[in-house]
Amino acid sequence: MVLRLHDTLTRRKREFIPSDPRRVTMYVCGPTVYNYAHIGNARPVVVFDVLFRLLRKTYGPENVVYARNVTDVDDKINTKAAEEGVGIEVITSRYLEAYHQDMARLGALPPTVEPHATAAMAGIIAMIGRLIDNRAAYQAEGHVLFDTAAYPDYGKLSGRPMDEMIAGARVDVAPYKKHPADFVLWKPSKPGEPEWPSPFGPGRPGWHIECSAMIEETLGLPIDIHGGGHDLIFPHHENEMAQGLCADHAEVYARYWVHNGFVNFGSEKMSKSLGNVQLVHDLVERVPGEAIRWALLSAHYRQPLAWTEELIDQAEKALDRLYGALRRAADVPPAAGEPNPEFLAALGDDLNTPKAYAELFALAGRLETANADERPGLKSELLASARLIGFLEADPEAWFQGMADPALKARIESLVAARSTARAAKDWPRADVIRDELAALDVEVMDGPQGATWRIRGRG
């Protein structure tokens, strides 16, 4: 299939051609593990999971290397550890474990490699040393700073010419910086903070250098795809690219830069600093992970996404529709199938998931009306398509039974059976009373030619 991706650096959609189809590389900025991930943090995880799956389908699972880092050195981690009076590993391992669980609930495959900043310290220090050797970094007052003057293209990724950036800057410029845009590669630690020995003095790495070092270690330059949230374009990715290229005298850092839009909560961006967050950890307790995934992909990945209860409702109803078609095709024998061509074309066009959804609905509609000869093919096409991007993996009955526990399920089944008996006897008043009882349990019954089916309506 043809895949076109919007590249932030060139600001246009370009056909994706890996530098080596036997080793396609993708790096995505992962979590800083100091608390639970919110739904905005989950968006890139799900978006790049779709891309990962497409790449695996196209080039073969063994030929795609997806690296997503874990930032486990950070001021906020230090603060949290100090608050609780524990070591930083207690904090980082707790939240990393939760992150893995939560993202798995959203149907995201684990990345191929998951490098940790603390485990990359030797590479980070070596890279800083090379930047100094290459005269792209300098030492001042215990810090090592990247010298932006050493990289003429600085500002190209974010589209910020250097002079304009300085004019409009409202950052406090540290006095030891040669240029206001210079950024920290290594800094001394305050007493009590974690620190590592280095040729530049004991301390810890700046924010950006870990990604460059881990990319070098796990993937090697140039990488095919570098992904992350829109807000990382500047300064994070701009800086990453500058230092990464200068350290290795390389020409190309990432061949395609892919950035996802934000999740808004109300009219504002959801962010930890604003405090208006919806944690995935809480959400998965009351909403199926698959519905959350559906909602996250219901808008094109570069568009902003407004997170509302209505969005979640619509996602569940959309999945009801698709699982409903499968449930009515339960008797159709499964067959090995390939995804629908239109569906693939939609995804290939810069991951147009809304368009891809429309193709799933079209397939479901055809499945509903098709004759017996066509149904196996359509069912397998629908399943192969949806499952390519992580949907319709569940048994339809399990989907409609929702999160009902076994006791509730047994009670529902017995009521449904009692109602069937009443209906068989044409005792309509009794049948309707039982239906009301079921409705009180938030259960809806549907009478069909092969007997009644039921489903849980709504959410708690």
Residues 314-373 close enough to bind RNA by CB under 7 A:
314, 317-318, 320-321, 324-325, 328, 349-350, 352, 354-355, 357-358, 361-362, 364-365, 368-369
Among residues 173 and 197, whose Cβ is nearest to RNA? 173
Q: Which CB sits closer to RNA, 358 or 408?
A: 358
Which of 264, 376, 408, 418 contacts RNA by CB under 7 A? 264
**204, 335, 385, 459 from 338: Cα distances, Å:** 50, 10, 7, 34
79 Cβ neighbours under 8 A, 6+ residues apart: 34
- Using CB under 7 A as the binding rule, whether residue 122 contacts RNA is answered as no
Residue located via tokens 């409903």 = 324
- Interaction residues for RNA, span 198-237 (CB under 7 A): 207, 228-236
CA proximity to 30, closest of 61, 74, 64, 84 = 74
Query: Which residue(s) pair with 143 in the sheet?
Result: 140
> Residue ranges of the alpha helices (H) in 219-271?
238-248
Site for RNA in 31-60 (CB under 7 A): 31-32, 40-41, 43-44
What DSSP letter does each residue of 405-450 carry, written as one string? Answer: -HHHHHHHHHHHHHHHHHHHTT-HHHHHHHHHHHHHTTEEEEEETT
Distance in angstroms (rounded) separating the CA atoms of residues 248 and 107? 37
Q: What contacts 107, CB < 8 A, 6 or more positions away? A: 46, 49, 289, 290, 293, 390, 391, 393
Q: Does 428 engage in binding with RNA (CB under 7 A)?
A: yes
The stretch near RNA (CB under 7 A) out of 259-267, 331-339, 376-384, 401-409 is: 259-267
Please select the residue that binds RNA; options are 169, 252, 398, 425, rule is CB under 7 A: 169
- Considering the complex, what minimum distance in angstroms separates the CB of residue 349 from RNA? 7
Q: In this complex, which beta carbon is closest to RNA, that of residue 250 or of residue 362?
A: 362
Nearer to RNA, 38 or 105 (CB): 38
Tokens matching residue 345: 């074309």
Q: Choose between 129 and 376: whose C-beta lies nearer to RNA.
A: 376
Please report how close the Cβ of residue 246 comes to RNA at its closest, in angstroms: 19
- The least distance separating RNA from the CB of residue 456, rounded to whole angstroms, comes to 12
Of residues 406 and 429, the one with the C-beta less far from RNA: 429
- Please identify, among the stretches 58-66, 155-163, 248-256, 279-287, the one whose residues bind RNA according to the rule CB under 7 A: 155-163
Interaction between residue 164 and RNA (CB under 7 A)? yes
Measured between alpha carbons, how far is 443 from 460 in angstroms, rounded to an integer?
13
**Whole-number Cα distances in Å, 213 to 29, 67, 69, 185, 209:** 13, 12, 11, 11, 6
To the nearest whole angstrom, how small is the minimum distance from the Cβ of residue 131 to RNA? 19
Q: How far is the CB of 133 from RNA (least distance, A)?
A: 26
Which residues in the 55-74 window bind RNA by CB under 7 A? none
| Of 59-67, 97-105, 300-308, 386-394: span binding RNA (CB under 7 A) | 300-308
HSE, CB side, 13 Å, CA atoms: give it for residue 436. 6
Identified binder of RNA from the candidate list 56, 80, 116, 160, rule CB under 7 A: 160
Q: Which of 30, 33, 32, 31 is nearest to 91 (CA)?
A: 33
Residue 31's contacts (CB-CB under 8 Å, 6 or more residues apart) are 37, 41, 70, 71, 95, 96, 99
- List the alpha helices (DSSP H) in 250-374: 280-283, 289-296, 309-327, 341-348, 353-369
Q: From the CB of 10, what's the least distance to RNA, in Å?
A: 12
Scan residues 370-399 and list those touching RNA (CB under 7 A).
Answer: none
Choices 197-205, 331-339, 370-378, 431-439 (CB under 7 A): range interacting with RNA: 431-439
User: CB under 8 Å to 204, separation ≥6 — which residues?
Assistant: 73, 186, 187, 189, 193, 194, 195, 196
Do residues 26 and 67 lie in contact, with contact meaning Cβ atoms separated by under 8 Å?
A: yes
Smallest distance from RNA to CB 221, Å: 21
3-state DSSP assignment of residue 298: coil
Interface with RNA, residue 262, by CB under 7 A: yes
How many residues sit close enough to RNA to count as binding (CB under 7 A)? 82
Nearer to RNA by C-beta: 106 or 165? Answer: 165
Q: Which stretch binds RNA (CB under 7 A): 143-151, 159-167, 189-197, 382-390?
A: 159-167
Q: Could you say whether residue 263 binds RNA (CB under 7 A)? A: yes
Q: Which of 84, 89, 97, 447 binds RNA (CB under 7 A)?
A: 447
